[in-house]
């Protein structure tokens, strides 16, 4: 015989042996105690007339113990399940506490955000044109630092002739200074462009950053620090001292729409007339509920006022890409 069957039988016998409307005390497995007049017991539900709640029906499987007063003063009949109420209550309380702790436990967030970018466009007819843009981006955000890495490749042809062939890699680490808006950053960049006077340009900088705006919706960060650059493949290879300055904005319009922009001004400290400017902006639309697929439209502009004859100072790229996050 199961505990529930024993309880049902015991309650039924007690009720049958006692006049209805007899005073009764019901102790529930939850620990609550109800006092009232026993109205009925059909073997599945005990009905009690409570002074405040009125007539209530209590399923027998929720009852730990019930005591019904007899006709003789001082006489009473009691039925309880095999497992003592104290043990049952303790077990229920422990299970409930575990569930509550699991609900309240903070979710462990993956510090890494990875993104792959792909975009192609072209035309066919009087002019054959093809352009492709590929990129990989990785960010690692913790309480102590923010690491950013990106690598992009852009290639374009027109009527079979190559018009652009560019590869760029950047890495930056921001060391956070506790709750301060200030941080310390270090960055490095490698740039390969077939249509520039250099074969490879390496550059780096070390400095301080300041978060002008830093909330869930908007982030505006400025950075400044000394750096150097070295260009391989030019006639006069040398170390170029530079000053790196930048301003970067990210803003969430709503759950689906995001915008971003940046500008970098990098003057040559050895020759004040020479400088570089990098700037760009984008709009991103989240296409899926999980946020893993997005459409991004934007532009990237690179200006270098010191170039050889026959080479454009300004390179402006427009792009539309699909982005996969994983």
pLDDT digits (tens, 9 = 90+) for 134-148: 999 999 999 999 999
Question: Are residues 97 and 144 located together in one domain of the fold?
Answer: no
Percentage of the chain beyond pLDDT 70 is: 79
The confidence band for 16, taking pLDDT boundaries of 50, 70 and 90, is very low
Question: Are residues 30 and 136 located together in one domain of the fold?
Answer: no
Question: Are residues 75 and 165 located together in one domain of the fold?
Answer: no
C-alpha–C-alpha distance, residues 105 and 165, integer Å: 50
141-145, 280-284, 303-307: least confident range: 303-307
Question: Are residues 221 and 156 located together in one domain of the fold?
Answer: yes
* Overall domain count for the chain: 2
- Which pLDDT does position 11 carry in this prediction? 46
Question: Are residues 81 and 148 located together in one domain of the fold?
Answer: no
Task: Give the residue-averaged pLDDT of 106-121.
Answer: 86
Residue 245 has pLDDT above 80, yes or no: yes
Question: Are residues 243 and 300 located together in one domain of the fold?
Answer: yes
Give the dihedral sign, CA 230/232/238/240.
negative
Question: Are residues 24 and 141 located together in one domain of the fold?
Answer: no
The CATH number of whichever domain residue 57 belongs to comes to 2.30.30.100
Domain boundary among 37, 70, 104: 104
Q: Pairing state of beta strands 161-176 and 182-193?
A: antiparallel
pLDDT digits (tens, 9 = 90+) for 49-107: 888 788 888 888 888 888 877 544 444 555 554 444 444 455 455 556 655 655 665 56
The confidence band for 38, taking pLDDT boundaries of 50, 70 and 90, is confident
At 46, phi and psi to the nearest 5?
-100, 125
Complete DSSP assignment for 181-200 = SEEEEEEEEEEEETTSS-SE
Question: Are residues 234 and 272 located together in one domain of the fold?
Answer: yes
Task: Give the residue-averaged pLDDT of 112-128.
Answer: 83
C-alpha–C-alpha distance, residues 182 and 173, integer Å: 13
Question: Are residues 90 and 147 located together in one domain of the fold?
Answer: no
The CATH number of whichever domain residue 265 belongs to comes to 2.40.160.40
Question: Are residues 57 and 122 located together in one domain of the fold?
Answer: no
Cβ neighbours of residue 38 closer than 8 Å, sequence gap 6 or more: 15, 18, 20, 21, 22, 23, 24, 46, 47, 48, 49, 68
Predicted TM-score (pTM) of the model is 0.66
Long-range contacts of 88-95 (CB under 8 A, 24+ apart): 88/29, 88/64, 89/29, 89/30, 89/31, 89/64, 92/29, 92/30
Residue 272 has pLDDT above 70, yes or no: yes
127-131, 166-170, 226-230: least confident range: 127-131
Residue 170 has pLDDT above 80, yes or no: yes
- The whole domain housing 87 covers 3-104
C-alpha–C-alpha distance, residues 221 and 207, integer Å: 13
Question: Are residues 151 and 298 located together in one domain of the fold?
Answer: yes
Question: Are residues 160 and 85 located together in one domain of the fold?
Answer: no
Task: Give the residue-averaged pLDDT of 182-194.
Answer: 97
Domain boundary among 104, 133, 157: 104
Domain boundary among 79, 104, 129: 104
Residue 295 has pLDDT above 90, yes or no: yes
Greater pLDDT, 158 or 84: 158
Nearest CA to 35 out of 12, 66, 80 is that of 66
């Amino acid at each position: 015989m199961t505990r529930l069957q024993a309880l049902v039988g015991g309650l039924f016998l007690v009720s049958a042996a006692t006049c209805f409307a007899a005073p009764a005390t019901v102790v529930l497995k939850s620990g609550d105690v109800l006092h009232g007049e026993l109205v009925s017991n059909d073997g599945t539900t005990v009905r009690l007339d409570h002074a405040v709640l009125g007539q209530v029906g209590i399923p027998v499987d929720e009852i730990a113990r019930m005591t019904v007063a007899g006709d003789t003063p001082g006489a009473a009949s009691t039925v309880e399940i095999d497992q003592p109420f104290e043990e049952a209550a303790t077990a229920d309380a422990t299970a409930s506490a575990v569930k509550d702790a699991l609900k309240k436990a903070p979710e462990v967030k993956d510090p890494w955000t990875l993104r792959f970018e792909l975009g192609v466009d072209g035309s066919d007819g009087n002019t054959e044109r093809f352009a492709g843009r590929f990129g990989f981006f990785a960010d690692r955000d913790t309480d102590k630092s923010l690491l950013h890495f990106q690598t992009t490749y852009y290639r374009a042809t027109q009527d079979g002739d190559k018009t652009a062939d560019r590869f760029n890699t950047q890495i930056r680490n921001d060391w956070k200074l506790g709750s301060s808006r200030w941080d310390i950053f270090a960055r490095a960049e490698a740039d390969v462009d077939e249509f520039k006077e250099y074969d490879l340009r390496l550059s780096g900088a070390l400095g301080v950053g300041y978060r002008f705006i830093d909330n869930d919706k908007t982030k505006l960060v400025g950075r400044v620090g000394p750096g150097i650059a070295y260009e391989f493949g030019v006639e006069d290879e040398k170390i170029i001292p530079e000053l790196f300055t930048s301003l970067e904005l990210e803003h969430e319009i709503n759950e689906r729409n995001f915008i971003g922009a940046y500008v970098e001004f990098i003057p040559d400290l050895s020759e004040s007339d020479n400088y570089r400017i990098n700037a760009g902006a984008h709009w991103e639309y989240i296409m899926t509920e999980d946020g893993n697929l997005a459409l991004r439209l934007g532009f990237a502009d690179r200006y270098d006022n010191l170039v050889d004859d026959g080479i454009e100072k300004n390179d402006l790229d427009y792009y539309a890409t699909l982005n996969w996050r994983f």
